[in-house]
Amino acid sequence: MFGWIIPPPKPSKKSKGIFFQERQRKITSLKRMGFLKSKALEEAMLKIPREVFVPFNYRDHTYEELPFPLPGKKATISCPHSYPMFYEAIELSPGDRFLEVGTGSGYGAVLAAEIVGPEGLVTSIEIDHDTFLYAKKRISLFKYPNLFLVKGDGGKGYLLNSPYDKICLTAACNKIPPPLVNQLKEGGKLITPFEVYGKSQDLILLEKKADGKITKRSIEKVLYVPLQGEYGR
Ligand code: SAH
Protein backbone atom coordinates (compact mmCIF):
# COMPACT_ATOMS: atom_id res chain seq x y z
CA MET A 1 0.00 0.00 0.00
CA PHE A 2 1.50 3.34 -1.11
CA GLY A 3 5.03 3.92 0.16
CA TRP A 4 4.56 2.24 3.53
CA ILE A 5 5.58 -1.26 4.52
CA ILE A 6 2.61 -2.68 6.35
CA PRO A 7 3.47 -5.49 8.81
CA PRO A 8 1.73 -8.87 8.30
CA PRO A 9 -1.64 -9.21 10.08
CA LYS A 10 -1.41 -10.87 13.48
CA PRO A 11 -3.96 -11.06 16.33
CA SER A 12 -3.47 -8.37 18.96
CA LYS A 13 -1.80 -9.36 22.21
CA LYS A 14 -1.21 -6.01 23.95
CA SER A 15 -3.11 -5.06 27.11
CA LYS A 16 -5.09 -1.86 27.76
CA GLY A 17 -2.29 -0.70 30.07
CA ILE A 18 0.37 -1.11 27.39
CA PHE A 19 -1.80 0.74 24.86
CA PHE A 20 -2.26 3.58 27.36
CA GLN A 21 1.52 3.91 27.86
CA GLU A 22 2.07 3.86 24.09
CA ARG A 23 -0.62 6.52 23.67
CA GLN A 24 1.08 8.79 26.23
CA ARG A 25 4.43 8.33 24.48
CA LYS A 26 2.88 9.06 21.09
CA ILE A 27 1.37 12.31 22.38
CA THR A 28 4.73 13.40 23.80
CA SER A 29 6.39 12.70 20.46
CA LEU A 30 3.67 14.48 18.42
CA LYS A 31 4.16 17.53 20.67
CA ARG A 32 7.92 17.39 20.29
CA MET A 33 7.61 17.14 16.50
CA GLY A 34 5.35 20.22 16.48
CA PHE A 35 2.20 18.45 15.19
CA LEU A 36 0.28 18.72 18.45
CA LYS A 37 -0.15 22.11 20.13
CA SER A 38 -3.62 22.67 21.56
CA LYS A 39 -4.65 21.44 24.98
CA ALA A 40 -8.14 20.37 23.81
CA LEU A 41 -6.67 18.11 21.13
CA GLU A 42 -4.06 16.68 23.48
CA GLU A 43 -6.74 15.81 26.03
CA ALA A 44 -8.93 14.23 23.35
CA MET A 45 -6.04 12.14 22.01
CA LEU A 46 -5.22 10.95 25.51
CA LYS A 47 -8.85 10.07 26.27
CA ILE A 48 -9.77 8.20 23.07
CA PRO A 49 -8.28 4.69 22.80
CA ARG A 50 -7.20 4.75 19.15
CA GLU A 51 -6.60 0.98 19.22
CA VAL A 52 -10.39 0.41 19.25
CA PHE A 53 -10.52 1.82 15.70
CA VAL A 54 -7.65 -0.26 14.31
CA PRO A 55 -8.56 -3.69 12.86
CA PHE A 56 -7.75 -6.41 15.43
CA ASN A 57 -4.98 -7.97 13.32
CA TYR A 58 -3.07 -4.67 13.11
CA ARG A 59 -3.96 -3.33 16.54
CA ASP A 60 -0.57 -3.89 18.15
CA HIS A 61 0.84 -1.30 15.71
CA THR A 62 -1.76 1.35 16.63
CA TYR A 63 0.76 3.95 17.79
CA GLU A 64 3.18 3.55 14.88
CA GLU A 65 3.10 6.02 11.98
CA LEU A 66 1.42 3.60 9.59
CA PRO A 67 -1.95 3.55 7.81
CA PHE A 68 -3.86 0.23 7.94
CA PRO A 69 -6.48 -1.20 5.57
CA LEU A 70 -10.11 -1.07 6.72
CA PRO A 71 -13.09 -3.05 5.45
CA GLY A 72 -14.28 -1.35 2.25
CA LYS A 73 -12.90 -0.71 -1.22
CA LYS A 74 -10.42 2.09 -0.61
CA ALA A 75 -10.34 2.89 3.06
CA THR A 76 -7.46 3.13 5.50
CA ILE A 77 -7.09 4.38 9.04
CA SER A 78 -4.66 7.29 8.65
CA CYS A 79 -1.32 7.62 10.49
CA PRO A 80 -1.61 9.05 14.03
CA HIS A 81 0.09 12.37 13.15
CA SER A 82 -2.47 13.17 10.44
CA TYR A 83 -5.21 14.08 12.94
CA PRO A 84 -3.24 16.84 14.74
CA MET A 85 -1.88 17.91 11.34
CA PHE A 86 -5.43 18.49 10.05
CA TYR A 87 -7.14 19.67 13.22
CA GLU A 88 -4.45 22.16 14.31
CA ALA A 89 -4.41 23.71 10.81
CA ILE A 90 -8.16 24.35 10.82
CA GLU A 91 -8.06 25.26 14.54
CA LEU A 92 -10.86 22.86 15.43
CA SER A 93 -12.35 24.33 18.63
CA PRO A 94 -15.11 23.84 21.20
CA GLY A 95 -18.46 24.89 19.78
CA ASP A 96 -17.51 24.33 16.11
CA ARG A 97 -19.91 22.83 13.57
CA PHE A 98 -17.59 20.41 11.84
CA LEU A 99 -17.99 18.29 8.70
CA GLU A 100 -15.74 15.31 8.01
CA VAL A 101 -15.79 13.76 4.53
CA GLY A 102 -14.52 10.16 4.78
CA THR A 103 -15.35 8.67 8.20
CA GLY A 104 -13.01 5.70 7.61
CA SER A 105 -12.40 4.04 10.97
CA GLY A 106 -14.40 6.64 12.91
CA TYR A 107 -11.40 7.68 15.03
CA GLY A 108 -11.18 11.19 13.57
CA ALA A 109 -14.91 11.73 14.06
CA VAL A 110 -14.78 10.74 17.74
CA LEU A 111 -11.71 12.91 18.36
CA ALA A 112 -13.52 15.83 16.73
CA ALA A 113 -16.69 15.20 18.80
CA GLU A 114 -14.58 15.31 21.94
CA ILE A 115 -12.96 18.60 20.86
CA VAL A 116 -16.08 20.48 19.69
CA GLY A 117 -17.93 19.39 22.85
CA PRO A 118 -21.67 19.56 23.61
CA GLU A 119 -22.02 23.07 22.12
CA GLY A 120 -20.60 21.88 18.78
CA LEU A 121 -21.70 19.33 16.19
CA VAL A 122 -19.75 16.79 14.14
CA THR A 123 -21.23 15.47 10.90
CA SER A 124 -19.19 12.67 9.35
CA ILE A 125 -19.96 11.15 5.93
CA GLU A 126 -18.72 7.83 4.55
CA ILE A 127 -19.44 6.60 1.01
CA ASP A 128 -18.46 2.93 1.37
CA HIS A 129 -21.09 0.65 2.89
CA ASP A 130 -18.68 -1.76 4.64
CA THR A 131 -16.47 1.05 5.95
CA PHE A 132 -19.55 2.87 7.20
CA LEU A 133 -20.70 -0.18 9.17
CA TYR A 134 -17.20 -0.67 10.61
CA ALA A 135 -17.05 2.94 11.83
CA LYS A 136 -20.61 2.92 13.14
CA LYS A 137 -19.97 -0.14 15.27
CA ARG A 138 -16.87 1.40 16.86
CA ILE A 139 -18.36 4.86 17.34
CA SER A 140 -21.37 3.29 19.10
CA LEU A 141 -18.99 2.16 21.88
CA PHE A 142 -18.73 5.84 22.84
CA LYS A 143 -21.51 8.20 23.80
CA TYR A 144 -21.40 11.31 21.66
CA PRO A 145 -24.84 12.87 21.11
CA ASN A 146 -23.05 15.62 19.15
CA LEU A 147 -21.77 13.16 16.50
CA PHE A 148 -23.97 12.59 13.46
CA LEU A 149 -23.06 9.85 10.94
CA VAL A 150 -24.21 9.87 7.33
CA LYS A 151 -23.76 7.22 4.65
CA GLY A 152 -23.39 8.93 1.28
CA ASP A 153 -21.28 11.06 -1.03
CA GLY A 154 -19.51 13.59 1.17
CA GLY A 155 -18.45 15.64 -1.85
CA LYS A 156 -21.99 16.94 -1.85
CA GLY A 157 -21.68 17.91 1.80
CA TYR A 158 -24.69 17.70 4.08
CA LEU A 159 -26.90 20.71 3.66
CA LEU A 160 -29.16 20.00 6.64
CA ASN A 161 -26.42 20.58 9.22
CA SER A 162 -24.68 23.40 7.32
CA PRO A 163 -23.16 25.97 7.42
CA TYR A 164 -19.93 24.58 8.87
CA ASP A 165 -17.14 26.38 10.72
CA LYS A 166 -14.63 23.75 9.66
CA ILE A 167 -14.55 21.01 7.00
CA CYS A 168 -12.01 18.23 6.57
CA LEU A 169 -11.66 15.77 3.68
CA THR A 170 -9.70 12.63 4.52
CA ALA A 171 -9.46 11.52 0.86
CA ALA A 172 -7.60 13.32 -1.94
CA CYS A 173 -9.47 15.38 -4.55
CA ASN A 174 -8.15 17.20 -7.60
CA LYS A 175 -10.92 19.78 -7.51
CA ILE A 176 -12.33 21.05 -4.22
CA PRO A 177 -16.01 20.06 -4.35
CA PRO A 178 -18.00 23.32 -4.81
CA PRO A 179 -20.87 22.22 -2.48
CA LEU A 180 -18.36 22.02 0.38
CA VAL A 181 -17.12 25.56 -0.24
CA ASN A 182 -20.75 26.72 -0.39
CA GLN A 183 -21.56 25.00 2.91
CA LEU A 184 -18.59 26.63 4.66
CA LYS A 185 -19.33 29.67 6.85
CA GLU A 186 -17.68 32.98 6.08
CA GLY A 187 -14.58 32.91 8.26
CA GLY A 188 -14.57 29.10 8.00
CA LYS A 189 -11.68 26.75 7.13
CA LEU A 190 -11.51 23.63 4.95
CA ILE A 191 -8.60 21.22 4.73
CA THR A 192 -8.03 18.58 2.07
CA PRO A 193 -5.37 16.45 0.44
CA PHE A 194 -5.19 17.72 -3.15
CA GLU A 195 -3.66 15.83 -6.04
CA VAL A 196 -1.46 17.82 -8.37
CA TYR A 197 -1.50 16.53 -11.98
CA GLY A 198 -1.96 12.88 -10.98
CA LYS A 199 1.38 12.90 -9.17
CA SER A 200 2.09 14.25 -5.73
CA GLN A 201 -0.47 15.41 -3.19
CA ASP A 202 -0.46 18.62 -1.18
CA LEU A 203 -2.43 19.25 1.98
CA ILE A 204 -4.38 22.41 1.16
CA LEU A 205 -5.89 24.81 3.68
CA LEU A 206 -8.74 26.86 2.22
CA GLU A 207 -10.16 29.87 4.06
CA LYS A 208 -13.38 31.65 3.27
CA LYS A 209 -12.80 35.19 4.47
CA ALA A 210 -15.46 37.34 6.09
CA ASP A 211 -16.05 39.07 2.72
CA GLY A 212 -16.55 35.69 1.02
CA LYS A 213 -13.10 35.72 -0.67
CA ILE A 214 -11.31 32.36 -0.88
CA THR A 215 -7.62 31.89 -0.09
CA LYS A 216 -5.65 28.64 -0.38
CA ARG A 217 -2.24 27.57 0.79
CA SER A 218 -0.30 24.37 0.81
CA ILE A 219 0.85 23.00 4.17
CA GLU A 220 2.67 19.71 3.49
CA LYS A 221 3.20 16.90 0.99
CA VAL A 222 0.84 14.02 1.86
CA LEU A 223 -0.52 10.71 0.54
CA TYR A 224 -4.21 9.79 0.92
CA VAL A 225 -6.69 7.47 -0.80
CA PRO A 226 -8.65 9.09 -3.67
CA LEU A 227 -11.95 10.87 -3.15
CA GLN A 228 -14.82 8.89 -4.70
CA GLY A 229 -18.28 9.99 -5.80
CA GLU A 230 -19.46 12.84 -8.02
CA TYR A 231 -16.44 15.06 -7.33
CA GLY A 232 -13.97 12.18 -7.16
CA ARG A 233 -11.21 11.32 -9.54
N1 SAH B 1 -9.73 9.69 8.68
C2 SAH B 1 -10.04 8.36 8.31
C3 SAH B 1 -9.46 8.14 6.92
C4 SAH B 1 -10.23 7.23 6.11
S5 SAH B 1 -9.58 6.95 4.47
C6 SAH B 1 -9.41 7.40 9.28
O7 SAH B 1 -8.29 7.65 9.71
O8 SAH B 1 -10.01 6.39 9.63
C9 SAH B 1 -10.67 7.93 3.51
C10 SAH B 1 -12.11 7.52 3.57
O11 SAH B 1 -12.85 8.37 2.70
C12 SAH B 1 -12.41 6.09 3.10
O13 SAH B 1 -13.12 5.44 4.12
C14 SAH B 1 -13.28 6.28 1.86
O15 SAH B 1 -14.25 5.27 1.69
C16 SAH B 1 -13.92 7.64 2.16
N17 SAH B 1 -14.42 8.38 1.00
C18 SAH B 1 -13.85 8.53 -0.22
N19 SAH B 1 -14.62 9.31 -1.01
C20 SAH B 1 -15.69 9.69 -0.25
C21 SAH B 1 -16.83 10.51 -0.51
N22 SAH B 1 -17.04 11.11 -1.69
N23 SAH B 1 -17.72 10.68 0.50
C24 SAH B 1 -17.54 10.09 1.71
N25 SAH B 1 -16.49 9.30 2.00
C26 SAH B 1 -15.57 9.10 1.03
- Percent of the chain having pLDDT more than 90? 93
- Percent of the chain having pLDDT more than 70? 98
109 lines ligand 1 (CB under 6 A): no
- Domain range summary for the chain, segments of one domain joined by +: 65-222
**CATH dotted code for 65-222:** 3.40.50.150
- Residue 189 CB contacts under 8 Å (≥ 6 apart), including other chains: 89, 90, 91, 165, 166, 167, 205, 206, 207, 208
> Coil, strand, or helix at residue 92?
coil
Q: What is the pLDDT of residues 175-190, one digit of tens each?
A: 999 999 999 999 999 9
Burial, 79: exposed, middle or buried (Cβ in 10 Å; 0-12, 13-18, 19+)?
middle
Do 125 and 100 touch, CB atoms closer than 8 A?
A: yes
Q: Which of 50, 68, 168, 227, when mutated, tests ligand 1's pocket best, judged by the most ligand atoms within 8 Å of its CB? A: 227
User: Which ligand 1 atom is nearest residue 53's CA?
Assistant: 8
Mean pLDDT of 208-230: 94
C-alpha 78 to ligand 1 mean position (Å): 10
The CA angle 74-22-58, to the nearest 5 degrees, is 30
Residue 1 has pLDDT above 50, yes or no: no
227 lines ligand 1 (CB under 6 A): yes
Residue 4 has pLDDT above 90, yes or no: no
155 lines ligand 1 (CB under 6 A): yes
Q: Give me the half-sphere count of Cα atoms (radius 13 Å) on the Cβ side of residue 176.
A: 22
Q: What is the pLDDT of residues 84-131, one digit of tens each?
A: 999 999 999 999 999 999 999 999 999 999 999 999 999 999 999 999
C-alpha 72 to ligand 1 mean position (Å): 10
> Coil, strand, or helix at residue 130?
helix
75 lines ligand 1 (CB under 6 A): yes
pTM of the model: 0.96
* pLDDT value of position 199: 80
Q: What is the pLDDT of residues 66-88, one digit of tens each?
A: 999 999 999 999 999 999 999 99
